Amino acid sequence: MDSLVMALAFLVSMLSTSFPQVSPLKVCPKCGTMEVPPPLSTNSDCGDSSYKVYCNNGVLEFLSAEGMYYRILSIDPCTFKLIIAPPRIRKDLCYSSDLTVGGLRIDENSPFNISTRNTVMLLNCSENLLLSPLNCSSNSLCRLFEEKVSEGSACRNTLCCTFLKDASITSRRIRARVGGCTAYTSVVNMKPDEFPGLWNYGIELQWLPSSLY
């Protein structure tokens, strides 16, 4: 019996050596009132640094590849998703606040990408967009945004187009540029029958699971 117990103890020891347990990541402190669940990281002492987000003056933000900060509105660690605020649109001109950097772009090496639950509305577009497969018709949802939401009022009487950010479209960019579309906004899980002022405005990002967590 003693030899059997010793053999089992040796086997357990070998298994624990061969398959070491990964220690859980340290949780980052709150940023303002917002929790920062792993693997998201606000500094080198917590989370996984590949999943970097930024706590600026108590506001949790996501940094694009072009150096623009976007406020994080919510985080769902169970589904590996977070929602960032879309760029502001100027009241006097139909320009997005990130127009100067070409809109939102996520680095190719980032674990984050744009999810397929985003309905993107491109605003103040050139007529070249009429050749695209996007919905640029008079009943496109972007028309409701321009007519019913004050932020979209500067974009009225211009061409706008709407599309669902599905797998056939790049998951790392929403472009804004002069000569294309100078502004955009996005709605997560669009419900067309709701009043446009109640839509869930934001850009949902998803991340790949961390190997450290």
Span 19-67, pLDDT tens digits: 444 557 899 999 999 999 999 999 999 999 999 999 999 999 999 999 9
Residue at 47 is within a domain: no
Query: Does a structural domain hold residue 55?
Result: no
10 Å CB burial of residue 200 (0-12, 13-18, 19+) is middle
Contacts of 78 (CB under 8 A, 6+ apart): none
Cα 80 from Cα 176, distance rounded (Å): 27
Please report the pLDDT score of residue 2 as a whole number.
54
* 140: containing domain: 73-207
197 occurs within a structural domain: yes
Q: What is residue 18's predicted lDDT score, i.e. its pLDDT?
A: 47
Residue 188 reports pLDDT greater than 90: yes
67 against 166, higher pLDDT? 67
Residue 177 confidence (pLDDT): 96
Specify the number of domains making up the chain.
1
Cβ–Cβ < 8 Å for 208, 40: no
pLDDT in tens, 78-93: 999 999 999 999 999 9
pLDDT at 3: 58
Flag whether pLDDT at 194 surpasses 70: yes
Q: Would residue 213 count as lying in a domain? A: no
